[in-house]
């Protein structure tokens, strides 16, 4: 099993920055890609950004140029630096870790951290 613990959420004004962290523990050797998803009230969970163990990244169009995902493999930790935040970035942000085998399907999830951007 893999456990994920997120931190770094909070309340920030529009235009501000936040940095999220997600530390993985347990069977971390099974992890290939890690990433961040978010879910706003009344909306489906959506991809924010992902990063493979080799460092390949993928971003949602809505965050390109503003958010940066990075990963410290030695610490089994993934980060999301969020700059130029907008009120529409308000959501619960979830860390995700997918294994090489994709078991469980969709990967492991953290408990979520709230990000609120005020206008």
Residues 36 and 92: their CA atoms lie apart, in Å, by: 10
- Bridge-based pairing of strands 108-109 and 46-51 is unpaired
18-21: long-range pairs with CB below 8 Å, 24+:
18/82, 18/85, 18/115, 19/79, 19/80, 19/81, 19/82, 20/79, 20/80, 20/82, 20/93, 20/95, 20/113, 20/115, 21/77, 21/78, 21/79
- In percent, the amount of the chain with pLDDT more than 90 equals 91
Task: Find the mean pLDDT for residues 23-41.
Answer: 95
Confidence label for 103 from pLDDT (cuts 50, 70 and 90): confident
What pLDDT was estimated at residue 12?
Answer: 98
**DSSP conformation letters of 98-118:** EETT--STT-EE---EEEEEE
pLDDT, tens digit, 9 for 90 and up, residues 47-97: 999 999 999 999 999 999 999 999 999 999 999 999 999 999 999 999 999
pLDDT score of 105 more than 90: no
What pLDDT was estimated at residue 41?
Answer: 92
Q: The tokens of 13 are what?
A: 């004004």
Task: Find the mean pLDDT for residues 44-48.
Answer: 97
pLDDT score of 17 more than 90: yes
Residues 51 and 91: their CA atoms lie apart, in Å, by: 20
Q: The tokens of 56 are what?
A: 């390949």
């Amino acid at each position: 099993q893999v456990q994920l613990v997120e931190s770094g959420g909070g309340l920030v004004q529009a235009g501000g920055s936040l940095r999220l962290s997600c530390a993985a523990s347990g069977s971390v050797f099974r992890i290939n890609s890690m990433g961040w998803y978010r879910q706003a009230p009344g909306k489906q969970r959506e991809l924010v950004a992902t990063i493979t163990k080799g460092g390949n990244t993928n971003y949602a169009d809505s965050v390109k140029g503003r958010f940066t995902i990075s990963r410290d493999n030695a610490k089994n930790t993934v980060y999301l630096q969020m700059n130029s935040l907008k009120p529409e970035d308000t959501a619960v942000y979830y860390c995700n870790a997918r294994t090489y085998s994709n078991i469980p399907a969709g990967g492991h999830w953290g408990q979520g951290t709230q990000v609120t951007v005020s206008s």
